[in-house]
Amino acid sequence: MSTDAPRLRTLRLVVEYDGTEFAGWQRQAGQRTVQQCLEDAFATMTGVAVGVRGAGRTDAGVHADGQVASVELASRIPALGFLRGLNSNLPRDIAVLDVADMPAGFNARRAARGKIYRYLIWNHPVRSPRRARDTWHVFAPLDVHAMREAATLVSGEHDFRAFRASDCERKSTVRLIRRFDVRREGALFTCEVEGTAFLKNMVRILVGTLVAVGRGRMTDATIRDLLAHGDRTRAGMTAPACGLTLAKVIY
């Protein structure tokens, strides 16, 4: 039997989670986070501490269908073994959907070429208990056609400084939105946005602004002015975290 130490490997994980009871992705002292749960599961399996890097740092309450993470570790456990073992050691609100060996140096965040976020709105006079964890309940009627037009205006490359959190630390606020779709099926609105990268709270502020348009509180002229002058105080509210899901990371 060989006594050689196991080689250093890079694994890629695809992770799904319900963010309701998490303080976000990133490990924080005294807080329950997705990163912490994954790192604890790896430690249970391997007996050593490892760092799990996510493609994006989702905020508290935000969900993921296709978060991607990478980890470097020395272990002979096959990828399928990690898939089964991690899921047996993770809480019910996190699941690892796929584990694959990657070339050395793969980094889930740096290698990403874009992300797709999905935001759900329950537009009905009565709240939906079954959708409470993954939708924003907006009881006033929304004009889906006006919202689609506003989404068209913010698509493309723009300076999105009016659509970021006050504590956002990114130096450049220019971003490219490849597409921004607004669909309605009965009371359920789906806002899906694909872009190369996003500022802190950018998607939630864009959705909050579209809802203001849909309620007749803002116009297309307001959207153009926001893009031209970058006044955050004139944009819509930051939509609640519960409606937002990181749907896919693009490579």
Token readout for 194 is 């694909």
Question: What 3-state class would DSSP assign to 81?
Answer: helix
Whether the Cβ atoms of residue 244 and residue 62 lie closer than 8 Å to each other: yes
Q: What is the DSSP string of 185-224?
A: ETTEEEEEEEES---TTHHHHHHHHHHHHHTTSS-HHHHH
Measured distance CA(237)–CA(218) in Å, rounded: 12
Which of 4, 18, 59, 167 is the catalytic position? 59
Q: For residue 100, what are the CA distances in angstroms to 12, 25, 82?
A: 5, 21, 9
- Alpha carbon distance 226, 222 (integer Å): 6
DSSP 77: -
Dist CA 126 CA 196 (whole Å): 36
Name the pairing type of β-strands 136-138 and 8-17: unpaired
Residue 205's nearest CA partner among 157, 168, 247 is 168
Whether 59 is catalytic: yes
Q: How far apart are the C-alpha atoms of 25 and 19, rounded to whole Å? A: 9
Structure tokens at 61: 């309450």
CB 138, CB 122: distance < 8 Å:
yes
Active site residues: 59
